[in-house]
């Protein structure tokens, strides 16, 4: 175990949290989510369905979930509702290409490669790192807490800062991309501010950890909360279908931030709001400044470190180039929270 922890720490970006201290429980490996408890919740949901709030059955799922291959609406067979028990008992099929999607695990699999038997592919190391069971297990147990060393204000304050940006879209659907273990997903779901919250991540193990934390709070099992595995550069949602998108400490890990933000812009409704946080490019996490790298980029092309760290100007330029307006940001040392809005 000690060797695994050392390996995970060595693979992680050292600059945002140089003296990382991880809180290890006695259990050496994360447990796989208990499917019997989810099935029990699903059975309980059948009994409770007549008593559910009208709002929980008023969302048209086929107007939100879409095929990641052709972006056409999904046909759903199963109980209504964007909640864990209902989605667990549902099957989905693309109305155009007939590709099928299921939630055989505790999340709905909506990747392009869903259902493949022989094909597999690897993402960049910064993406694959967070698919590790160990890193996923440790993320909320010491890893994320160390971000305060770089100026991150802390979960409660970051959540409230994001809520302030989301005031124009209160009551809408919120998508928490790169949700990790669900630190903010749970806060958004429990706030009662949104008609539905969808937690999305590419890491299967992060989504399993997300469910492990969710099932500790019975009130979250029957609210409008869904877990989805998908690629940030191929979001499985209809265009103009989501009101708010949150990406906490995520953009620096994405294989292609420009493709991802373009997708975010596509799925946002007119007036929809995107909020993200990340580490700003600085000598602490990037030994070469943007100005120093620019001549080299002109000669040899893109020059990348292991993570994508950006300046304030680059983040604003990226958001605007993807069609977002009303850009604003808040900075504290290497921490930045930035926001853009889909024009009406």
The C-alpha atoms of residue 343 and residue 115 are separated, in whole angstroms, by: 36
pLDDT value for 62? 45
| Number of other CB atoms surrounding residue 84 within 10 Å | 27
CB-side neighbour CA atoms (13 Å) of 219: 6
Query: Contact 200/81 with Cβ under 8 angstroms?
Result: no
State both tokens at 316. 């604003």
What does the block give as tokens for 219? Answer: 């009130």
- Which residue blocks in 215-289 are alpha helix, DSSP H? 257-267
**Inter-axis angle of helices 183-191 and 155-165, nearest 10:** 50
Predicted pLDDT at 283? 67
Q: What is the largest CA-CA distance in the chain?
A: 66
Unique residue bearing structure tokens 């190391």: 125
- In sequence order, the β-bridge partners of residue 76 are 92
Q: How far is 281 from 267, CA to CA, in rounded Å?
A: 28
Q: What is the pLDDT of residue 55?
A: 41
- What is the structure's pLDDT at 185? 98
Q: How would you class 112 by CB atoms within 10 Å of its CB: exposed for 0-12, middle for 13-18, buried for 19 or more?
A: middle
**CA–CA separation, 246 and 138 (whole Å):** 22
Q: Which residues contact 213 (CB under 8 A, 6 or more apart)?
A: 140, 181, 182, 186
Q: Give phi and psi for 59, each to the nearest 5.
A: -85, 130
The runs of H, that is alpha helices, within the chain are 2-11, 35-48, 84-88, 125-128, 133-138, 155-165, 183-191, 204-214, 257-267, 290-300, 312-321
d(CA 180, CA 156): 17
Q: Please, which residues have CB within 8 angstroms of residue 43's CB and are 6 or more apart in sequence?
A: none
Q: Which CATH number fits domain 119-342: 3.40.718.10, 3.40.50.150, 1.10.1240.10, 3.40.50.2000?
A: 3.40.50.150
Handedness of CA 289, 292, 295, 297 (dihedral sign): negative
Residues 295-336 have pLDDT tens digits of 544 554 454 447 889 999 999 999 999 999 999 999 999 999
State the alpha helices, DSSP H only, in 244-321: 257-267, 290-300, 312-321
Query: CA gyration radius for the chain?
Result: 20
Contacts for 248 with CB less than 8 Å, ≥ 6 apart: 158, 162, 176, 178, 179, 180, 183, 184, 276, 277
Burial label, 142 (beta-carbon count in 10 A; 0-12, 13-18, 19+): middle
Q: What is the DSSP letter of 195?
A: S
Break the chain into its structural domains and give their ranges. 119-342
How confident is the prediction along the chain (344 residues), in pLDDT tens digits per residue? Answer: 444 444 444 444 444 433 333 343 333 333 433 334 545 544 444 444 444 444 444 444 446 899 999 999 999 999 988 989 899 899 999 999 999 998 877 899 999 999 898 998 877 777 888 898 998 999 999 889 889 999 999 999 999 999 999 999 999 999 999 999 999 999 999 999 999 999 999 999 999 999 999 999 988 987 999 999 999 999 999 999 999 999 999 999 999 999 999 999 999 999 999 999 999 987 665 534 445 445 544 554 454 447 889 999 999 999 999 999 999 999 999 999 999 999 99
- pLDDT at position 224: 94
pLDDT computed for residue 123 by the predictor:
79
pLDDT of residue 285: 58
Contact assessment for residue 146 and residue 158, using Cβ atoms and an 8 Å cutoff: no
């Amino acid at each position: 175990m000690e060797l695994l922890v050392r390996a995970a720490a060595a693979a992680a970006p050292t600059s945002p949290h140089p003296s990382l201290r991880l809180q290890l429980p006695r259990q050496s490996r994360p447990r796989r989510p208990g499917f019997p408890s989810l099935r029990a919740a699903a059975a309980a949901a059948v009994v409770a369905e007549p008593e559910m709030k009208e709002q929980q059955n008023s969302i048209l799922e086929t107007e939100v979930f879409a095929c990641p291959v052709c972006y056409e609406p999904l046909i759903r067979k199963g109980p209504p509702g964007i909640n864990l028990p209902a989605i667990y008992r549902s099957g989905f099929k693309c109305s155009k290409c007939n590709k099928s999607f299921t939630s055989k695990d505790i999340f709905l699999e909506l990747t392009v490669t869903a259902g493949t038997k022989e094909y597999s592919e690897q993402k960049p190391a910064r993406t694959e790192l967070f698919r590790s069971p160990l890193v996923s297990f440790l993320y909320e147990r010491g890893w994320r807490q160390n971000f305060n060393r770089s100026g991150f204000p802390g979960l409660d304050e970051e959540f409230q800062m994001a809520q302030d940006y989301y005031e124009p879209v209160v009551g809408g659907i919120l998508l928490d991309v790169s949700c990790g273990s669900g630190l903010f997903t749970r806060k958004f779901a429990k706030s009662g501010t949104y008609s539905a919250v969808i937690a999305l991540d590419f890491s299967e193990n992060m989504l399993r950890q997300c469910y492990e934390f969710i099932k500790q709070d019975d009130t979250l099992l029957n609210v409008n909360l869904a877990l989805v595995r998908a690629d940030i550069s191929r979001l499985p949602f209809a265009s103009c279908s989501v009101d708010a998108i949150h990406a906490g400490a995520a953009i620096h890990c994405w294989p292609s931030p420009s493709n991802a933000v373009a997708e975010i812009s596509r799925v946002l409704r007119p007036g929809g709001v995107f909020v993200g946080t990340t580490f700003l490019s600085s000598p602490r996490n990037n030994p070469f400044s943007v100005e120093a790298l620019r001549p080299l980029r002109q000669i040899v092309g893109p020059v990348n470190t292991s993570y994508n760290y950006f300046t304030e100007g680059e983040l604003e330029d990226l958001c605007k180039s993807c069609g977002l307006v009303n850009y604003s940001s808040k900075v504290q040392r290497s921490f930045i929270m930035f926001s853009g809005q889909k024009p009406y």
